[in-house]
Structure 1
Amino acid sequence: MAPVFFLLPLLLGQILLCAAGDTINSSTPLSGAQKIVSKGNKFTLGFYTPPQGTNTSSNQGNYYIAIWYSNIPLQTTVWMANPDLPVADPTTAALTIGSDGNLVLLDQSKNRQVLWSTNISTSSNSTIAVLQDGGSLDLRDATNSSMVYWRSIDHPTNTWLPGGKLGLNKTTGVSQRLVPWTNTANPSPGLFSLELDPRGTTQYLIQWNDSITYWSSGPWNNNIFSLVPEMTSGYNYDFQFINNATESYFIYSMKDNSIISRFIIDVDGQIKQLTWVPASQSWILFWSQPRTQCEVYALCGAYGSCNLNALPFCNCIRGFSQKVQSDWDLQDYSSGCKRRVPLQCQTNSSSSQAQPDKFYTMANVRLPDNAQTAVAASSQDCQVACLNNCSCNAYTYNSSGCFVWHGDLINLQDQYSGNGGGTLFLRLAASELPGSKRSKAVIIGAVVGGVAAVLIVLSIVAYFLFQKYRRERTLRIPKTAGGTLIAFRYSDLQHVTNNFSERLGGGAFGSVFKGKLPDSTAIAVKRLDGVHQGEKQFRAEVSTIGTVQHVNLVRLLGFCSEGSRRLLVYEFMPKGSLDLQLFLGETTALSWATRYQIALGTARGLNYLHEKCRDCIIHCDVKPENILLDESFVPKVADFGLAKLLGRDFSRVLTTMRGTRGYLAPEWISGVAITAKADVFSYGMMLFELISGRRNSDHGEQHGSTFFPTFAASKLHEGDVRTLLDPKLNGDANADELTRACKVACWCIQDDESARPTTGQIVQILEGFLDVNMPPVPRSLRVLGESPDVINFFSDISSNQTSQTQNSTTSQTRSTTSGSSHLQSP
């Protein structure tokens, strides 16, 4: 019997660790390493410490009661009870049912101090807490499960789950809002928040410090929020806004419960919708607002400036350095920056050696908030007005007058061209600027003068040696010939791009720079991010892509693979990308004939990738930014091989979708295998933009804040396609081509991928060889009711087609489509 008694403590410990199941009651508190798991094993509740907490002295040994996904390898919390009151030792703390029926967190080491409570009045003190498969911890009556007193899902922290309310209780005035973590290692509440407008309007606001609103959803118009036109109940989501006498709230649910999706407000101040993709074992960003990181108010703190073309986005301005470097390392920039050298007026120095403060010119910046006007007749007078007040840190002078800033400079942005931008003159200590120590320079100059002659001679010799080296180095760059890819050296590409100085653009894959080969051939060099293959594998993949050549595909000229550096060299496209021509205020709008040829050429390029290559190549990122135009506006699909190159990392780079659902097909979030029909969906969304000349989600009040594809589907069924045309064209378009393009676009964005045409069929339709039927309205657009049960792509080919053409087309159509029952014989 002795061995049995010896094992009893161990067995009892295992029972206590697991016996609670999904429930906490007065006799089974949760403490230490104990956990409860929802009945379907979807969520777990227990004591949690952030992954980076053990590496951060300020957060080391902090534990929190949290709920997280059970079956996701990357531990992801969805709710936290005590984010601002951590527990130092979970073995001395307990989550239990109190004597009044509330669920409470007690710290035994502090005389049973209550760190957190559900804090409600119950009709019974006989309650239990049950963890549900929807991620909610419910406090309910122990004998009547339908009597629920409190749900964690209705008291969110930084995450909004399906089924949870996000709104305002009009009776109690309590707001259900999202607040981010302070940083990636500290879950205490940060400065940002998302909530329903407390003033009573039906719009959601993202605020900084509960005072400054920097994003609004716009009011609810009984269908969508007016400033979020892309928000429709779609392939996997149902949204609902409830507004009655007692409460207003927004709620959503998943049509397919196997899909894991959540909304969060991140530490960077953006609201994001994330979906777990089992194939890549990662979260992908499906939607976010504000669209760009620098639209988040005061993201970079005092004297910090945001730059969309830099990583990280936040950096300190000239003369300043990070105030708390450890916070910046954890993506918390709220502490801002501090001066490196005090201003002369702050030192109270009367020494004759002290130089007066100077001003550093910051051109093309978003001017900081809280400017004050000053009386000045010129820029010089404005500068003097600032210098005469020691609290003045900057000034600007423009057509509206003189403006000065006292106190911290907040909400700056570099390389800014929007409203509220201009030139800022930043006040700095003289020693922070060049030429500030002229007196010392005079003394040093005497010494320098003594060796100047020697330096000049050496410089001349070095110059000629450099030129000789440069010529020899240039000659080592081989010429392109016979379609063979060139294996460039990294130093060669540095040379031909002038050390990557002329940036053409960039995105999630990396940045693109302009260069020129020795024979004056212009090239575009893409410096890739996120490619981790070995050199041999990378060269093999690039060689495969290099053999793919078509008039509507950007030609790959060469590559570079040295160490961790991966670069691709493409032919240069002088007209840039399609988005530049459509959206960024070109003085001359693309004609309809040009747009139609772009649509047709793009379809031909994609069709070559899908059906004419030895292996089907799925682009995975079709959008205007990836359609480049040559001197004659011939379209060429770019980046068509990056999905293959990036492999499993590709899901990560698809997370930068310009802040909208953009061009991703619904199957991307369902976890199913991606086929070429995903490209077809993206092509359809892009075709709508070609027609209208604007982003699908940027039509604002023009169409009653309706998502443009929704509006287009409605007008297509009404036979009024002229209203869909870009106003800049003044109605100048071929009516048959416009109708054909609208039908194709609507067919392409069908929810069911089997209902979408192939790219080969798209080419035939746009060429006029196939006459396409009126498409049903996709379920996700919810404009004209349910789709018909029978879906047919095509009706008879025009009577003027020859019998031979008809038979050939029919044969090709049937061989390339999935679901031949959707086709009618001509």
Structure 2
Amino acid sequence: MCSWRHLALLFLLLSCLSRWPRTSAAASDTLSTGESLAGNRTLVSAGGKFELGFFSPAGGGSDYYVGVWYKRIPGRTVIWVLNRDSPVADPASAELTVARDGNLLLLLTGNGPQRAIWSSNSTGSRDGDDGDAAVAVLLDTGNLVLRGRRGGNSSAVVWQSFDHPTDTLVPGGWVGLNKRTGAYQALRSWRSAADPSTGLYTDRVDPHGSGQYAFLWNGTAVYHYVGAWNGRYFAPIPEMGMSAKYTFAFVNRSEEVSYSFRVNDPSTVSRLVMSPHGQLTMFDWSDESGQWLLHWATPTSLYDVYSACGPFGLCDVASSQYCRCLPGFEPASPGDWAAQLWSAGCARRTTLQCSGNASSTDGFIPVQNVQLPSGYSPVADAAGRRQLRRLRIAYAYRDGCLVWDGDLRNAQQLADGDAGASTLFLRVAAADLATASHGVATNGRVGVAILGASCVIALAILCLLFVLAWVGRREETVHRDGSLLPRYLARCTKNYSHKLGSGSFGSVYKGSLPDHTAIAVKRLEGSAQGEKQFRAELRTLGTIQHVNLVRLRGFCATGHERLLVYDYMPNGSLASVLSESGHSSRPLDWRARFGIMAGVARGLAYLHERCQEQIVHCDVKPENILLDAGLRPKVADFGMAKLIARDNSRALTTARGTVGYLAPEWILGLPITAKADHGMVLLELVSGRRNRDAAEAGRRGGGGCYFPLWAATKVREGQVLVLLDERLTGDADVEEHGRACNVACWCIQQDEALRPTMGQVVQVLEGSLRPGTAPVPRYLEQLCRARSERILVELAIFTSCRPVIELWKKMQCCKFDDYD
């Protein structure tokens, strides 16, 4: 029997419970007129997919915002922010409400009178006394809609968040332009991961009227276009069509232009985000890993984003991070830099003493091998001295004298000898001169003198080159057989006595210059084809340089002699190294192999994406990848290279290349793109085997069929470790190995639209891009299953080319022995 004390405790407990806030079993998705959302209260969409309420970003301090985020995904991934530029200090002193005039308002309700810091600027009701006139509803799409009476229709949408996106596009949303009202729907980046305020980068319809979507920096500078729509995706972003999970749509009609996407599988959770780095990024949620996986990004490289490293930042491909500060500068926001967000750039360590004063102790330090920043001004001869006296920031000499008088943006560190490399003379305070450049800096007055001297020296060099050219022409007249340079190279190569190798149209010999610099001389043979190869090499390597492309030192064309001079590569070709690794007790280790993979991809990405014209190598194979003393790869032999103008995405050309490395479009006679340089070499580096090694595939259970097909099947089955060269005895980075195998299998897909660009291959190898598992290339599977004459004849009819069968025979793809 309960005592009176038990009864008293029970009464107290019931009293407390009666005062405890109660929530309904199903949280509300609706905010009606006169109701408010404040503190910890939230709206949850009817299906429980999205939630709306006050939040503070991780690391964002004491600022609070109203936003929409995924309800069922751990953490808080925000897709929309209502008051991104007007945060509140305390969610308990603010409320989101639907006013009686039909507006959605965010009010400050602390001390003093209420005031609105955000309004939807909509009118949902014509009758201010009608309490049911307007209602805000959070939909399962993530769209916050405001409905009200318009002409008696209480369900009419008078305002919606999808018309005002922030940095994220979700299925059902859109980015575009209302041509009737002139209103833009644009994705605008967050300032940083902890700051939702309007950032520097925007994805919107091109304000200059090109009809394309453009990426803008600070609302002014266009730094990237997504290109033309081909019916399925924007042409420069084929990754849009790589996944069957979602479908993109593009509309361009009289009233609007917009793009959007939908998911084909209801279980798929995807979002498109304009990142604080200035890249448009596509993410898919993975329940298995419990994280967002980056599917693709454009531009593929941060170096193509305007001011990615901010003012006085230097983009450095060899750095452990993308950006570093110029000498004499330090991160303006160390916290952002620690989070790998560099757009705030760098600030001077020491303030300049006195701008433009001749007695200033400020000085100039040289920054070597940089691509010059944007925003320079040429110095006219007449005003040169006066302008140099007023010089404040930097100067350089390149096709004339150039000066900077504001923030330096887009400076990039280049490799030694790069054709675009220059020396930038940067003004710093006297206090930074002693520690910068090891005493090579000069004071302000001497710096100006150096600029003047540089201009004079450059003029003298031009005159000297003119004289040499004139003398050379005279010598050519005297020695009409052009024997001087060939004789010189003959002496350098000891009369071509040390042959390094030979190909279809010539041989390569080792030589040495008088200063003992080792060189390789290619002596082309054969009249017509040799001439074509010679011109192709000059057309490509003669105008570009990259750390992962072989360096062309010189050439000779006289009479029937065609000579090309390169840097000598002491470790020979990758083919020879892989061959030695196959029989040696010390094979090429994983670290070297992975470095070669990444280096080759970077070199090809440079050719495809960063040259004035796209350069398609057309013959990427281990024999054409040379290794220097440090096993750094150099893509070589550009005799079959094809140039494609930037305004064309593809070109129709005669078949070229090496059997076993031909992309399907070569064999089928289709137009080619840069993706014809596909990734067979990746599989060979992983396995240590050549792609035609049918016996190896058979020994490992492949039935004697084409090795890449066997490898792709194993990758699809998740058995990537069986592809690793057995001589490595498992000594490899498992994650790197998996990434390499998967991207290799994406590279050998039949549909070139499914293949990644080389820039994306670099991203996958680096780990910043994570595509799904590659499908098995069905065309290889079908060919390997071909056993009857009927199937083979059908194949010949399909390709309209009987020699196709002979090509695939040579690739040892299938057993064609019974077919004549």
Q: TM-score range by the shorter chain?
A: 0.5 to 0.7
- How many angstroms apart in 2 are the aligned matches of 1:4 and 1:809? 94
1:652-731 equivalence runs, <5 A: 682-684=747-749
Structure 1 letter corresponding to 2:792: D
Give yes or no for the alignment of 1:362 onto 2:371: no
CA change 1:337–1:751 in 2 (3 A) is: closer
- How many angstroms apart in 2 are the aligned matches of 1:575 and 1:65? 43
Residue pair 1:18, 1:36 contacting (<8 A) in 2 also = no
1:527-542 equivalence runs, <5 A: none
Residue pair 1:163, 1:253 contacting (<8 A) in 2 also = yes
Q: CA deviation at 1:345?
A: 4.8
Match of residue 176 from structure 2 = 167
CA change 1:205–1:609 in 2 (3 A) is: farther
Report Cα offsets for 1:716-757 as digits up to 9, x if no partner. xxxxxxxxxxxxxxxxxxxxxxxxxxxxxxxxx999958x54
- How many angstroms apart in 1 are the aligned matches of 2:245 and 2:714? 23
Structure 1 letter corresponding to 2:749: G
Give yes or no for the alignment of 1:602 onto 2:691: yes
Report Cα offsets for 1:53-85 as digits up to 9, x if no partner. 2xxxxxx22111111112212321111111111
Residue pair 2:34, 2:100 contacting (<8 A) in 1 also = no
- How many angstroms apart in 2 are the aligned matches of 1:258 and 1:555? 50
Report Cα offsets for 1:459-486 as digits up to 9, x if no partner. xxxxxxxxxxxxxxxxxxxxxxxxxxxx
Q: Which moved more, 1:12-21 or 1:326-335?
A: 12-21
- How many angstroms apart in 2 are the aligned matches of 1:522 and 1:209? 48
Residue pair 1:137, 1:151 contacting (<8 A) in 2 also = yes
Match of residue 37 from structure 2 = 30
Correspondent of 1:113 among 112, 115, 125: 115
Match of residue 438 from structure 2 = 434
Gaps of 5+ in 1: 54-59, 440-501, 506-519, 525-548, 561-566, 629-634, 658-662, 665-678, 699-748, 778-796, 811-826
Give yes or no for the alignment of 1:371 onto 2:436: no
Residue pair 1:17, 1:33 contacting (<8 A) in 2 also = no
Q: CA deviation at 1:341?
A: 3.9
Match of residue 404 from structure 2 = 405
Residue pair 2:396, 2:423 contacting (<8 A) in 1 also = yes
Structure 2 letter corresponding to 1:64: Y
1:329-368 equivalence runs, <5 A: 329-343=338-352, 345-346=354-355, 350=359, 357-363=363-369, 365-368=370-373
Report Cα offsets for 1:315-352 as digits up to 9, x if no partner. 101121122323333444333222234556549695xx
Residue pair 1:556, 1:571 contacting (<8 A) in 2 also = no
- How many angstroms apart in 2 are the aligned matches of 1:144 and 1:9? 45
Residue pair 1:523, 1:569 contacting (<8 A) in 2 also = no
CA change 1:551–1:137 in 2 (3 A) is: farther
- How many angstroms apart in 2 are the aligned matches of 1:776 and 1:208? 53
CA change 1:576–1:115 in 2 (3 A) is: closer
Structure 1 letter corresponding to 2:364: K
Q: CA deviation at 1:765?
A: 6.2
Structure number with greater CO (CA < 8 Å, separation at least 6) is: 1
Residue pair 1:158, 1:180 contacting (<8 A) in 2 also = yes
Match of residue 138 from structure 2 = 131
Residue pair 1:65, 1:81 contacting (<8 A) in 2 also = yes
Q: CA deviation at 1:22?
A: 1.7
Report Cα offsets for 1:566-613 as digits up to 9, x if no partner. x74659989984875657684233733363596994375895798459
Residue 427 of structure 2 aligns to a residue whose secondary structure is strand
- How many angstroms apart in 2 are the aligned matches of 1:84 and 1:609? 64
Q: Which moved more, 1:404-413 or 1:228-237?
A: 228-237
- How many angstroms apart in 2 are the aligned matches of 1:248 and 1:687? 28
Report Cα offsets for 1:116-159 as digits up to 9, x if no partner. 22221224562222222211112224896742222212321110
- How many angstroms apart in 1 are the aligned matches of 2:186 and 2:595? 49
CA change 1:588–1:243 in 2 (3 A) is: closer
Match of residue 207 from structure 1 = 216
Give yes or no for the alignment of 1:269 onto 2:278: yes
Match of residue 559 from structure 2 = none
Structure 2 letter corresponding to 1:197: D
CA change 1:7–1:611 in 2 (3 A) is: farther
Structure 1 letter corresponding to 2:147: R
CA change 1:764–1:47 in 2 (3 A) is: same
> What TM-score do you get using the length of structure 1 for normalisation?
0.58
Q: CA RMSD in A?
A: 5.4
Structure 1 letter corresponding to 2:107: L
1:284-323 equivalence runs, <5 A: 284-323=293-332
> What TM-score do you get using the length of structure 2 for normalisation?
0.58
Structure 2 letter corresponding to 1:645: V
Residue pair 1:93, 1:108 contacting (<8 A) in 2 also = yes
Residue 691 of structure 2 aligns to a residue whose secondary structure is helix
Residue pair 2:125, 2:134 contacting (<8 A) in 1 also = no
Residue 749 of structure 2 aligns to a residue whose secondary structure is helix
Correspondent of 2:265 among 256, 268, 275: 256
- How many angstroms apart in 2 are the aligned matches of 1:556 and 1:27? 80
Match of residue 526 from structure 2 = none
CA change 1:775–1:413 in 2 (3 A) is: farther
Q: CA deviation at 1:103?
A: 2.0
Give yes or no for the alignment of 1:194 onto 2:207: no
1:84-99 equivalence runs, <5 A: 84-99=85-100
Residue pair 1:301, 1:335 contacting (<8 A) in 2 also = yes
Match of residue 486 from structure 1 = none
1:752-763 equivalence runs, <5 A: 757=778
CA change 1:573–1:396 in 2 (3 A) is: closer
CA change 1:186–1:9 in 2 (3 A) is: farther
Report Cα offsets for 1:602-639 as digits up to 9, x if no partner. 375895798459x99977599xxx9x9xxxxxx99999
CA change 1:553–1:155 in 2 (3 A) is: farther
Residue pair 1:274, 1:286 contacting (<8 A) in 2 also = yes
CA change 1:271–1:596 in 2 (3 A) is: closer
- How many angstroms apart in 1 are the aligned matches of 2:266 and 2:208? 35
**Identical positions, percent:** 30
Structure 1 letter corresponding to 2:278: G
Residue pair 2:357, 2:389 contacting (<8 A) in 1 also = no
CA change 1:73–1:20 in 2 (3 A) is: closer
Match of residue 792 from structure 2 = 771
Residue pair 1:557, 1:569 contacting (<8 A) in 2 also = no
- How many angstroms apart in 1 are the aligned matches of 2:637 and 2:67? 52
Q: CA deviation at 1:86?
A: 1.3
Q: CA deviation at 1:241?
A: 2.0
Gaps of 5+ in 2: 1-6, 444-545, 550-569, 605-616, 621-634, 641-655, 664-679, 685-689, 704-709, 761-770, 799-804
Match of residue 492 from structure 2 = none
- How many angstroms apart in 2 are the aligned matches of 1:7 and 1:335? 57
Residue 44 of structure 1 aligns to a residue whose secondary structure is strand
Residue pair 1:35, 1:46 contacting (<8 A) in 2 also = yes
Q: CA deviation at 1:559?
A: 11
Match of residue 68 from structure 2 = 67
Q: CA deviation at 1:504?
A: 7.5
CA change 1:573–1:243 in 2 (3 A) is: closer
Q: CA deviation at 1:13?
A: 4.6
Residue pair 1:166, 1:176 contacting (<8 A) in 2 also = yes
Give yes or no for the alignment of 1:645 onto 2:718: no
Residue 91 of structure 1 aligns to a residue whose secondary structure is helix
Structure 2 letter corresponding to 1:189: T
CA change 1:29–1:807 in 2 (3 A) is: same
